[in-house]
Amino acid sequence: MNVLLVVESPNKAKKFRGYFPEFKIIPTIGHFKDLPTDRMGVEPPDHKPEWVVMEGKYQVERDLIAAAKQADVIYLATDPDREGEAIAAHVANTIGKASASKIARITYTEVSKAALNLAIKNKRSIDWPLVRAQEARRIIDRYVGYQVSPELTKKFKSLGNTGFLTSGRVQSVAVKLVVEREKEITSFVAIQHYGITVSLEKSAIPFFATWKPEIKDGELVTLRATAQEVVDRTQSLKVISSDSKPRVVLPPKPLTTSSFVRLMAAALKLTTKQAMDAAQKLYEQGLITYHRTDSPTMSAEAVTNIRAFAKIQNLPVPASPRDYKASANAQEGHECLRATDINLQDALISGVEDPLLISVYRLVWQITLESQLSDGLDLATVVTFENAHSDAFIARARSAKEAGWRAAAQKFGTDKEVIEAATALDNTNSPADPVAEQSKLPRLEIGEQLQPLKVDLQIKTTKPPERFTEKTLVEKLDKLGIGRPSTYASTIERILSVGYITRAKSLRLDPTTRGTATVLALDGHFSFLDYGYTARIEQSFDLIAHRKSDYLAVVTAAWNALDRELAAFRGAALPDTVSAFDLSCSPTAQTKSKPSKPSSNGQKPLTPKAETTAQTKSMPGQKCPDCTTGTLSMKKFKEGGKNAGKSFIGCSNFPTCKHFAWPH
């Protein structure tokens, strides 16, 4: 029997060929069909998308058609999410109705022989509502990008900006978050306030107590004289109460895409894209499960294997397996991001040589194990003191009583920073009281009097909110329901590439003049800039996927609202705050460190002057200014070193015409 297996990745295809040499395996290399780049590709009232073969993917289409004719069975084994379902649908539509009876859709979350065999046993038909949900997202994103971006560009021409400005349903909101955080920082007024720390010692154990003034939560002591008066009258401290309670320390939850990229940023200083690229490679090599997920659930088989491994290693496990529930707005039903084989502690053993991949795998393996271990248990002690004038002081300490899941870190030598980065992903492990904790307190009796070694008046200043980093921006996007696991990396890279934000080595994100001006121009005119809009529209996509809503109704409603907003935007003047910006050159940190211009399509690299000229004339949908007969459209480099995957504006007459410009 001739079996055709269609996957997305060449590396995954290579892996499966080793397991199933008798199969004909063809990778689609991601999406091979998309909306056209030189025109809208969809229009009301039916909003029917025009799917065309992407440039450079024609051979994929030909290979699929030819192989389908020879196959007795066709398994569409693309990724287990909406994007994968859409690719499977494109394959089915490409090979035609003649092969429809041969087609079966299969899904799996790990690249292994057992997983594929199980998937084949559980084969199904294509989930068309899931496909329609993905199409609805793609169409609405197309309407926003292709309708709003040209209007935005026109308005900024009056300010001397000659580049092409882009907008997007997700990217514009991400920029807005960064811009508004910057506004909070620049408008922040620091407040000086005061505290008191008393240094004490008993039984050769030094410790400290902190003043607890009688003020409402959130208030500060802003009068120095008030604090100084307490300092002057604190000649001794009397123990009023001492309370010790156990505090449960939960293990880190199984990783989702969001918590994974945040962990990689905290522990390894990786960008979101670097983290996802590493995960892709580990997934394709069968070492981790599918990495685009918003669910912390774990298969029963995996939990059983982890618990068995833990017992062999003399690590504590709870009486019953841990059951982590997905959030209410989790999109897909597949597993968390975890190591596929808990017995494989080191990726080097499986042939991975890249030190970065080894480090990433080690962290994933560690969280996979720790998530199923017993709670840690600490002893939290709070001692209250008073001076002779009844001013209250607090001393806190916390010590480990039972290591619980932390025993794994001790056994396998994990760095303390990694543990802190992992547990920081779950705020439930953070103490509610801001009073600093110390590791040890001496035994203190009620009524006991202690003489301070030192009483320090502390002069403090309130701090502005911190600028977003990749870690905290992803966390915020995830919390607000903006974007999905598959979009985090592309969204951040997109707003970097168009010069709306810059990224420091610390992964700190700063808005540029261009990004700030764009947000100010759009905000208040378009509903997609509202933080709740994206979450609501994502819920609409979920309803389509679950057969509770209709594609046409959702897309039509979004189109009608956008059409009304566009009409109003065309007639509105730019705010005065925007007009004050000088965007004639639009300098950004991104352009200062641009890589050398790619030459993957044969043209000579543009000089800065030539590039500026090209950008002045180049907008998608326009006639080519060089050959005058071709049409300009957005294209992507498939090679070119650092520029692989980047978008540029090129001519439909390529290679005869080699017109080139960066999109800005």
| Residues assigned a catalytic role | 290
CA-CA distance, 265 to 276, in Å (whole number)?
Answer: 11
CA-CA distance, 10 to 29, in Å (whole number)?
Answer: 7
485: which 2 tokens?
A: 């696991």
Bridge partners of 620, per DSSP, are: none
589: which 2 tokens?
A: 């940190």
CA-CA distance, 220 to 595, in Å (whole number)?
Answer: 50
Specify the amino acid at residue 271: T
**Could you tell me which residues come within 8 angstroms of residue 44 by beta carbon, excluding any fewer than 6 positions away?**
556, 559
How is the beta sheet containing 632-636 ordered, strand by strand?
A: 632-636, 647-651, 660-661
Helices (H) and strands (E) in the chain, counts: 22, 19
Under DSSP, is residue 468 helix (H, G, I), strand (E, B) or coil?
A: coil
**Could you tell me which residues come within 8 angstroms of residue 628 by beta carbon, excluding any fewer than 6 positions away?**
none
CA-CA distance, 472 to 491, in Å (whole number)?
Answer: 14
The secondary element (H helix, E strand) that includes residue 562 is: helix 551-570
Residue 545: CB atoms within 10 A of its CB come to: 21
Under DSSP, is residue 503 helix (H, G, I), strand (E, B) or coil?
A: strand
CA-CA distance, 475 to 113, in Å (whole number)?
Answer: 35
CA-CA distance, 496 to 160, in Å (whole number)?
Answer: 22
